[in-house]
Chains A and B, each alone.
Chain A
Amino acid sequence: MANATNTATILRAHAEQQFAEELAELAKVDSKRRPPNWQMSPWAVMTYIMGGKLDNGYEITPKYIGRTRLVEVAIATLATDRALLLLGVPGTAKTWLSEHLAAAISGDSSMLVQGTAGTAEESIRYGWNYAKLLSEGPSMGALVSSPVMRAMSDGKIVRVEELTRMPADVQDSLITILSEKTLPIPELNTQVQAVKGFNLIATANDRDRGVNDLSSALKRRFNTVVLPVPDTLDEEVDIVRRRVESLGKALELPAEAPAIEEVRRVVTIFRELRSGITADGKTKLKMPSGTMSTAEAISVITNGLALAAHFGDGNLLASDVAAGIIGAIVKDPVQDKVVMKEYLETVVKEREGWKDLYRSCREF
């Protein structure tokens, strides 16, 4: 790193800095074959992501809690020369996984292009240092390389966040890079050819895939792995509770930690509407147009906590979360209202011990 900041003072360390010790330990025991330019073998990458105990007794913490098979597909994809596309609703750890994959495979997760509506082609290909360009004319010295270009020449993994938020023409500049593994620089009549080990991990939100849908030419260059929402209620309640607690600390909310029962109720509602079926699997439900993601459940609880802290007695009550729940469900004023009313009348109303929630929701 050019600017080696002290990791203790920076707000958020890169994965390879934060878990440097684990990576080093893994490298010690890893004797399996490595693909060219990989820092460790695919098996070691797998262990790094999913956690486990090494032969020398060292404990690797799990980075991604979820299905092993998906991560296997992701790693196998990167081991072939196909690019990897991680899809999923917000809050399913796409960025988190891509960062750790890059850290483990290349030892460097910092080569990153953030996709936004304003991302220009320069950030994928290259730009010019205009002062130098004017004084020296076009030369490699006047060229400002993009993270993609650097990853290509170093044989590393580059990450592209929120690929579908980029304008379509910028997205398409990836096609040559992914299929020919080369980046032509016509101005200098030269090109940068990718070194072995180069690959690309893109993430995209599959709810607003419609924003700038990938062209089929580009789509074809990716292997897609869809990261699912947590499998079980308990798993999700656990994730929500942990995140709410750490967020609560960060926001310095004076409220009590939320009762696990209230969290469970909110998560149940989110899971039911997201999956379109009640938790007991007996009744089907209409699904709202919103994503109902874990991340939103977390924000409903945090909002409720803030309400309870500032306007209530600090205890999280049904009335504190009701507004948040309704806000999360009703994204489309017509359709979602029907969905919500049906849900209230057919599910919430009937459920034992949910009367308070039913009443609070009806008030809105």
Chain B
Amino acid sequence: MPAPATETTEKVHIFGIRHHGPGSARSLVHCFRELRPDCILIEGPPEGNDLVKYVTDPEMRPPVSMLLYAVDDPRISVYYPFAVFSPEWQAMTFGVMHNIPVRFMDLPQTNWLALDQMRRADRIEKAQAALEEQNELPDDGIVRDDLEDTVRDLAPAKQGNGSAPQPSSQLVLDLKAPVEVNKDLEKLHNKIRRDPLNFLAELAGYSDGERWWENLIEARRGREDVFVAIKEAMSHLRDDLPDDPHDEDYEPLREAHMRQTIRTAIKDGFERIAVVCGAWHAPALDKMPPAKEDAGLLKGLPKFKLAATWIPWTHGRLAYASGYGAGIPSPGWYHHLWTSEEQVAELWMSKVARLLREADLDASSAHIIETVRLAETLAALRGHPLPGLSEFSEATQSVLCFGNPVPMQVIHDKLIVGETLGEVPAGIPGTPLQKDLEREQKRLRMPAQAQEKILDLDLRNANDLSRSHLLHRLNILDIPWGKKERSAITTSTFHEYWRLLWKPEFSISLIEASIYGRTVLQAAETKAKEVADKSHQLSELSKLLDAVLLADMPDIVEHVIKCVENEAAVASDVKHLMEALPSLVQIARYGNVRKTDLGSVAKILDGLVSRVCVGLPPACAALDDTAAQEILVLINKVHSAISLIQTPDHDRQWQDALTRIAENSASNGLLAGRSTRLLFDWRKIDASEAARQFGLAVSTATEPALAASFVEGFLQGSGLVLIHDKELLSVADGWVQSLNDEAFTNILPLMRRAFSSYAPAERRQIGEAIVRSRGAGGLKRLGRGAEAPIDLSRADLVLPGIAKLLGVLPPAKSVQSNEISSKDPQGE
């Protein structure tokens, strides 16, 4: 069909660009200015056509992403992110500003996603059938496992984060082709298809496709020339490369639809049609096959109801693979290339230097000059006319950072990737996350209200449990709709009290949170994962662990546990380790998280227990009382946690640690006392051994204050030990009696604190036990501690009156009780 072909070349101008390539964007804008197109066609989903008008909205700030999602199930969705330097974004902006119609021409996602879902369902069916077949055959472990994996991978219909349909097609190969394909070669082919220009740049010895593009432009001067050259290069590449075995015919469909869109534009009478597509597609749009063929291909495709909206995006997220194939590794650098046409090197290095100065590192102008010089020499050594990002980075590390890679990480995070967060106008149609929340609110009958409301949730009730999960998840997303209150009424664990208050700014937070996912659950999971990855504080992580447990996100629990493990390994503060232990024990013991692999938890627990047991004894030495109190609480918690799981190995290690604390004379008395007591309660040492250690600790060589803190640690908790163990009681009693007046006054507050934790009945029984053990004769001596001996003759004077009141008359007894209570300050 020669006639339409010539017509096409005259009216249609094809621009094969590099997705997210600032160089392409710049050349494109330049060409547009000369061409003055009257219609712009862009590779992208036609469902987004209505969204184009927003790009020039003053409130719109890239990076943003176009989000297409199934109305019925927002988990099925695709992102098309754009940065300000994306050629597609520039094309859209150009179109809207000059009032030129802009149309997207890719295969509609409505068909694409529907096709994908259909094929996916098909595959699951096949895989399951194959599995059943396998079940009938004699057990062949390996193949079956593979199949089971496949079914599992396919079964949840949700897609990976922000994935276009491509990744799922990977699975087809696993099923269909048991023949081992050359993986490396395939990877290379895939890479070429995704970013063919970068591949050409690599061939030319550049580390970055953008610098290559610039050199190309500078070498060739003319801008449109470049696009012609690229089209030629691509058609050679396409001829040489085999068909994508993973593709499942999407590619021909897409290109057919692009051509059909071009035909429609021609039919609509446009004269200068600018077609912006990935370089890879350029040759396919140049040669127009008969329209019938394309129409035939596109006939009868399944459909899906989709909604489209803009959501804010971040530079960091541009690095992810998404709608436009592979992500870009250095959005911040590209942004810099886009914003500074001249003096790229000097401006970039000044930014680096400013960042380093903020981090309190020396970075003078002299440094910058030297860095630029080194980068340029490096580029020359490597045979490039211009230094690229890798040359700048290496020169920076060598000159500015003295070879130290740590500051380079800061530069990478803040400059090379960048932290820019996009914004979208408020009037944009709602995001799936908002819709999902609305749906959940309706389902759980929890309307968003602007007045405060108290909610009492009974977690045994399924509906209330879901409500609690939702509130916890929203809290993870920093949308504190509900604040959990500590109940004053009851301490039961199956009740939660929430104070609900919906604030208007939560809507904005929701839009912001839509970066993380399309449903509340998914968003909370992604957010929690991100927080976990960033956090290096064990206590923070264990708090997060708690939160994800309450929010019922089993997939993330595992990840957070992993992070806890990693942090625990390097944590130098044994306190943090001890804080993390109890919640892990909870998980290991009760396995309340459905899918968490309990084996891995147990393994982490092993490591954690070992670390605590190794690190605790030295940490108990040379502590002041406040610090000791903190550790004491933790020791108690860890002890109950360890006795809960009852693993012989843990028990042995913990016992070992406690013994070392108890026997180390440098240990804080309180902790040594506590350790001895725990060992005794645990029947790891018998009464006589406990009495021996108690005696050692309180022997005359020891400072009374130190002895007292040992006694406090030992006696804390329950007093039964003193009631039932005569030996111990007599040691304790003997010690108290051996104290002189001054020492007694000094230790009295400590003793009082120890005894105050006992139930009144216990205190009374201890007193009585002492009385019993002494007999009446011993009691006289008890009075020694009281400063003034009682003047019996004066006391006798009041006795008749009291006797009258009580109606009894044993004078000796009243004296006794008086004295006991003076010894036992708590009274009754």
Residues of chain A touching chain B, judged by Cβ–Cβ distance below 8 Å, are 42-43, 46, 69, 72-73, 75-77, 79-80, 82, 85, 87, 206, 216, 219-220, 222-226, 276, 283-286, 334, 338, 341-342, 345-346
Max chain B C-beta neighbours (<10 A), residue from A75, A220, A225, A341? A220
Contact A225 B614 (CB under 8 A): no
Q: Which of A43, A223, A226, A286 contacts B381 (CB 8 A)?
A: A43
Nearest-neighbor residue (CB-CB) of B402 within chain A? A224
Contact B614 A338 (CB under 8 A): yes
Contact B377 A79 (CB under 8 A): yes
Question: Measured between C-beta atoms, what is the minimum distance from A278 to chain B in Å?
Answer: 9
Give Cα A52 to B496, complex, Å: 71
Nearest-neighbor residue (CB-CB) of B404 within chain A? A226
What are 20 A-B pairs with beta-carbon distances under 8 A?
A: A76-B374, A76-B377, A76-B378, A77-B374, A77-B377, A80-B373, A82-B370, A224-B399, A224-B401, A224-B402, A224-B403, A224-B404, A284-B569, A285-B570, A286-B569, A286-B570, A286-B572, A338-B615, A341-B614, A345-B610
Give Cα A77 to B611, complex, Å: 46
Closest 9 CB pairs of A and B: A284-B569, A224-B403, A226-B403, A76-B377, A224-B402, A76-B378, A223-B398, A345-B610, A284-B566
Give Cα A203 to B607, complex, Å: 40
Contact B570 A276 (CB under 8 A): yes
Contact A283 B374 (CB under 8 A): no
Contact A87 B618 (CB under 8 A): no
- Chain A positions within 8 Å of B373 at CB level: 80, 82
Interface positions of B from 318 to 360, Cβ below 8 Å from A? none
- Chain A positions within 8 Å of B614 at CB level: 338, 341-342, 345
Give Cα A206 to B364, complex, Å: 23
Contact A346 B610 (CB under 8 A): yes
Nearest-neighbor residue (CB-CB) of A285 within chain B? B569
Give Cα A46 to B377, complex, Å: 14
Contact A73 B569 (CB under 8 A): no
Give Cα A140 to B389, complex, Å: 50
Nearest-neighbor residue (CB-CB) of B207 within chain A? A69
- Chain B positions within 8 Å of A206 at CB level: 403
Give Cα A72 to B382, complex, Å: 8
Give Cα A73 to B391, complex, Å: 9
Q: Which of A69, A73, A220, A342 contacts B374 (CB 8 A)?
A: A73
Give Cα A43 to B381, complex, Å: 7
Question: Measured between C-beta atoms, what is the minimum distance from B611 to chain A in Å?
Answer: 6
Question: Measured between C-beta atoms, what is the minimum distance from A231 to chain B in Å?
Answer: 14
- Chain B positions within 8 Å of A69 at CB level: 390, 394
- Chain B positions within 8 Å of A222 at CB level: 402
Contact A75 B381 (CB under 8 A): yes
0/1 string, B536-554, CB within 8 A of A gives 1: 0000000000000000000
Can you add 17 more A-B contacts, CB < 8 Å, to A82-B399, A226-B404? Answer: A73-B378, A73-B394, A73-B398, A79-B381, A80-B373, A80-B377, A220-B364, A223-B370, A223-B398, A223-B399, A226-B405, A284-B566, A284-B567, A286-B569, A342-B614, A345-B610, A345-B614
Contact A72 B374 (CB under 8 A): no
Give Cα A43 to B367, complex, Å: 26
Nearest-neighbor residue (CB-CB) of B371 within chain A? A223
Number of A-B residue pairs with CB-CB distance less than 8 Å in the complex they form? 91
Interface status of B395 (Cβ within 8 A of chain A): yes
Give Cα A355 to B390, complex, Å: 46
Interface status of B565 (Cβ within 8 A of chain A): yes
Contact B381 A334 (CB under 8 A): no
Nearest-neighbor residue (CB-CB) of A46 within chain B? B381
Give Cα A288 to B606, complex, Å: 22
- Chain A positions within 8 Å of B382 at CB level: 72
Give Cα A43 to B566, complex, Å: 44
Interface positions of B from 507 to 539, Cβ below 8 Å from A? none
Contact A87 B403 (CB under 8 A): yes
Question: Measured between C-beta atoms, what is the minimum distance from A15 to chain B in Å?
Answer: 21
- Chain B positions within 8 Å of A224 at CB level: 398-399, 401-404
Give Cα A206 to B382, complex, Å: 29
Contact A220 B570 (CB under 8 A): no
- Chain A positions within 8 Å of B374 at CB level: 73, 76-77, 80, 82, 223
Interface positions of B from 393 to 437, Cβ below 8 Å from A? 394-395, 398-399, 401-405
